[in-house]
Amino acid sequence: MAPATAFLLPLLSSVILLAAAMSVRASPPGPVVTCRSGNSNCTVTNAYGTFPDRSTCLVASVAYPGTEQELQAAVSVAAAKGQHMKALSAYSHSIPKLSCPCGPAGRGLVISTVRLNRTVTLQLESMFKRSIKNKVIPDVAFENSISSFTTAAPYSDNIWYPSQAKVIYRDDFKLPISAPGTGLNDFIGLRA
């Protein structure tokens, strides 16, 4: 290969590659909700424009709340109408069952988060102590008491030992920091 050809071949390859890269245009996907009239009579797709199973998701309307108050109002109106609803991100979901509201086709509401102001305000909780009491009971029909137990004590836990035929319930409550007590928990199996 001549020295001039050896120099020109890589240069020509680089120019062709650069020209190809400059001619490529990319754009974000289009909207996942398209409506025939305003914000009603809509079709929901995903970022690819179609669901993998080629199904169609028809909804009665779409809401674009901008604030938390508008979001609550949209949910309240839909709940009063008995409408099924789903929240929808900017790019939807690839599985229709997760992005399409249940119920009769074309009657649901989609609440889009595209315009939602995502400001989050955190509030610090005052200091507290945890009151933990462990109860060991037989596991006979314990499945009937689990839901009432978890509702009454939201920070509680349970451990089932089927080979020993017992359940250990841990009652875990928040108490003010000034409440008396040492804060000791003597059961290692339920320590977090």
Beta bridge partners of 147: none
Beta bridge partners of 138: 166
Q: How many CB atoms lie within 10 A of CB 166?
A: 15
Average pLDDT for 32-59: 85
3 state DSSP class of 72 = helix
What's the CATH fold of domain 33-112? Answer: 3.30.43
Cβ pair 61, 42 in contact under 8 A: yes
pTM listed for this prediction: 0.50
Report residue 152: phi and psi, to 5°.
Answer: -75, -30
Taking only the tens place, the pLDDT of each residue in 146-189 is: 777 777 777 778 888 889 989 888 888 788 878 877 656 555 55
Instruction: Return the percentage of the chain with pLDDT > 90, whole number.
Output: 11
Q: How many CB atoms lie within 10 A of CB 72?
A: 11
Q: Is the pLDDT of residue 85 over 70?
A: yes
Q: Report the relative pairing of strands 85-88 and 109-112 from DSSP bridges.
A: parallel
Q: Which tokens go with 41? A: 């009579």
Q: Which amino acid is at 73?
A: A
